[in-house]
């Protein structure tokens, strides 16, 4: 069963349990594509999508209530403090390194030496008790609260990049300083997502507003397609998340 079918199956299972028991159910975190593609399944039922913040990308589907206060019981905020600056990729990698799956972790917000990870509430104690290091740095981990992340936004760096063409492999190559061959291998190995969807076509066209994520490297948004240079190359502006 592929991942898309697995997500759909899990949503249906939660709906069936709710219909039989009347108990509120919650899926693991869904990405925006999961949410859109499965809307026809859950939209007829009382539900609430919640990821900890108003602008959260990844959200849990809470079935059986539309009350925000009840939805809050299903997530926890993990506060991570370090002596060094924390990056999104390092924080996520260290959490998953505890043996956890990606879908139990929602958005991760980094701000200098502090990071916040939104997670399933039932794994919060496990993370606080076992997460000791981010990379080579020792960290202090505790349970945070909603107020701490209310005005915190994920950090990114804006860069101007010149591409040979508006192709996916070209963008990845230039944005991460990789050869075109390596970029192509990453795409073909299903390690690249375009707008949350796995893409294996190396020559896939990209456009303004696209979100590209590369496993092991990070993600970036095509903020603007500026135009052509005199030599016919394409100038773009990207927001590269840290």
What is d(CA 183, CA 189) in angstroms, rounded to the nearest whole number? 10
pLDDT at 62 (0 to 100): 98
- As its CATH architecture, domain 74-149 has 2-Layer Sandwich (3.30)
In percent, the amount of the chain with pLDDT more than 90 equals: 83
The three-state secondary structure class of 67 is: coil
Of the two residues 242 and 27, the one the predictor is more confident about is 27
Instruction: Give the model confidence (pLDDT) of 24-58 as tens digits.
Output: 999 999 999 999 999 999 999 999 999 998 889 99
Tell me, yes or no, if the pTM score tops 0.85.
Answer: no
230: number of Cβ within 10 Å? 5
Terminal Cα-to-Cα distance of the chain (whole angstroms): 33
Instruction: Give the model confidence (pLDDT) of 154-210 as tens digits.
Output: 778 999 999 999 999 999 999 999 999 999 999 999 999 999 999 999 999 999 999
Q: What is the mean pLDDT of residues 1-24?
A: 93
pLDDT at 173 (0 to 100): 96
The three-state secondary structure class of 169 is: helix
Domain locations in the chain?
3-73, 74-149, 156-241
Mean pLDDT of the chain: 93
- As its CATH architecture, domain 3-73 has 2-Layer Sandwich (3.30)
Cα angle for residues 152, 137, 175 (degrees, 5° grid): 60
What is d(CA 30, CA 104) in angstroms, rounded to the nearest whole number? 9
pLDDT at 76 (0 to 100): 96
pLDDT at 1 over 70: no
What is d(CA 141, CA 139) in angstroms, rounded to the nearest whole number? 6
pLDDT at 171 (0 to 100): 96
Name the CATH superfamily housing domain 156-241: RNA-binding S4 domain (3.10.290.10)
């Amino acid at each position: 069963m592929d991942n898309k079918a697995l997500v759909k199956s899990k949503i249906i299972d939660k709906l069936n349990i709710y219909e039989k028991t009347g108990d509120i159910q919650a899926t693991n975190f869904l990405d925006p594509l999961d949410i859109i593609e499965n809307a026809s399944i859950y939209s007829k039922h009382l539900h609430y999508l919640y990821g900890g913040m108003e602008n959260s990308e990844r959200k849990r589907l809470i079935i059986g209530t539309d009350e925000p206060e009840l939805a809050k019981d299903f997530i926890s905020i993990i506060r991570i403090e370090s002596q060094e600056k924390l990056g999104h990729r390092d924080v996520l990698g260290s959490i998953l390194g505890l043996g956890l799956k990606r879908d139990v972790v929602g958005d991760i917000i980094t701000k200098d030496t502090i990071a916040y990870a939104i997670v399933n509430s039932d794994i919060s104690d496990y993370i606080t008790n076992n997460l000791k290091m981010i990379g080579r740095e020792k960290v202090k981990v505790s349970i945070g609260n909603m107020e701490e992340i209310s005005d915190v936004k994920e950090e990114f760096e804006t860069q101007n990049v010149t591409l040979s063409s508006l192709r996916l492999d070209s963008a990845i190559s230039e944005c991460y300083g990789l050869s075109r061959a390596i970029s192509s291998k990453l795409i073909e190995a299903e390690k690249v997502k375009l707008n949350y969807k796995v893409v294996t076509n190396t020559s896939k066209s990209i456009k303004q507003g696209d979100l590209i994520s590369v496993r092991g490297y990070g993600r970036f948004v095509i903020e603007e397609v500026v135009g052509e240079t005199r030599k016919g190359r394409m100038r773009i502006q990207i927001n590269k998340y840290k």
